[in-house]
Amino acid sequence: MNMPLDQVKPLLQVKHLKKYYPIKKGVISKTVGYVKAVDDVSFDIYPGETMGIVGESGCGKSTTGRSLVRLEDPTAGQIIFQGKDLANISHKEMRKLRTDLQIIFQDPYSSLNPRKRIGDLLAEPLLAHKLATKEEADKKVNEIMEIVGLPKQYKNRYPHQFSGGQRQRIGIARALMLRPKLIICDEPVSALDVSIQAQVLNLLKDLQKSLNLTYVFIAHGLGAVKYISDRITVMYLGKVMELATTRDIFENPKHPYTEILLNAYPIPNPHERNRNQMVIEGDVPSPANPPKGCVFHTRCPFAKDICREKAPELTGKAHLVACHFPIDERNA
């Protein structure tokens, strides 16, 4: 995406998104608290870009992605897509928008019905939405399989007859069947070998260019996110810590948590790292009982009294950060 973002209308807007899971106890299943998986998340996604979402396990990145396509019903907030708030429309209305919103899952094998042939699995979205006859769907299946690099004669095989990389290509093909505008890639390469990861990432980039796709790319590995993303959202304990272009995140991080994640990112020559680099200590607090103030203050080497008392707001223009003492101000 080459055009400045302030000159482009967002494809999707997320405003103060929350997803809480109730904690129930007792015989009558009384609600005694909530797991705050996603807690007041906001960002915009622009046409043709890839928005990366990174963070430790349990930070809420996958729940955020699933909420965008209503696989999880949000507790609060707005998800504006094509003038409609996806968070507050009926499932019947949401079904009409499914053709524009698709998801690629982390485990391609568990997301494929083992009793169905691949051709039937790929044709199913078209037939379910009544967008093609059986003959037209079969032709479309052949085209999509060719696009993702699978011989069309493989459509008569079952999922267990494919390798992990091939199954993920099938998952990508299924997401493409309805020619969506936005695809949520929920850790699509984390279960694959490194060499296969590179092939799948290159395939996603090629498809984005040829089909004018927009991605939300969720991952643990910073290498994959750096390679494919235009902008990156860094999450921690259900909240956005930092949001900026990929270059700014890697070359000019402002939040201590982002810097710590980058320090853990493998580089070709580890001796080039600063030996005084920050190391994260302690465990991630429970999302059922997040810390008061800044949720990161219990593990932050720069935390002060205000961090323990007041939650920082996500502020900035092109480079957003939620920190009372961002790195550029500490170094000034």
Tell whether 126 is covered by a domain: no
Which pLDDT tens digit goes with each residue over 251-294? 999 999 999 898 877 766 666 666 556 667 778 889 999 999 99
65 vs 110, which has greater pLDDT? 65
The pair of three-digit structure tokens given for residue 92, joined into one six-digit string: 């019947």
What does the alpha-carbon distance between residue 58 and residue 78 come to, in Å, rounded to a whole number? 22
Name the 3-class secondary structure at 239: strand
The per-residue b/e assignment along 7-44, b for 16 or more CB within 10 angstroms, e otherwise, is eeeebbebbebbbbeeeeeeeeeeeeebbbbbbbbbbb
pTM for the predicted model, two decimal places:
0.91
What does the alpha-carbon distance between residue 236 and residue 51 come to, in Å, rounded to a whole number? 16
Which pLDDT tens digit goes with each residue over 76-103? 999 999 889 999 999 889 988 989 999 9
Average of per-residue pLDDT values in the chain: 90
Into how many domains does the chain fold?
1
Which pLDDT tens digit goes with each residue over 295-314? 999 999 889 999 999 999 99
Tell whether 123 is covered by a domain: no
Which pLDDT tens digit goes with each residue over 145-155? 999 999 999 99
Tell whether 228 is covered by a domain: yes
Q: Can you give the CATH number for the domain in which 252 is found?
A: 3.40.50.300
Tell whether 214 is covered by a domain: yes
Which pLDDT tens digit goes with each residue over 230-263? 999 999 999 999 999 999 999 999 999 999 898 8
DSSP string spanning 67-119? HHTTSS--SEEEEEETTEEGGGS-HHHHHHHGGGEEEE-S-TTTTS-TTS-HH
Counting residues of the chain whose pLDDT is more than 90, the rounded percentage is: 71
Distances (CA, A) of 27 to 24, 31, 138, 288: 9, 11, 52, 21
Q: Which residues pair with 217 in a beta bridge?
A: 52, 185
Tell whether 256 is covered by a domain: yes
84 vs 221, which has greater pLDDT? 84
What does the alpha-carbon distance between residue 105 and residue 287 come to, in Å, rounded to a whole number? 24
- What radius of gyration, in Å, describes the C-alpha atoms of the chain? 21
Domain carrying residue 228: 9-112+181-276
Residue 219 DSSP label: -
Q: What is the pLDDT, as a whole number, of residue 210?
A: 93
Instruction: Say how many CA atoms lie within 13 Å of 57 toward its Cβ.
Output: 2
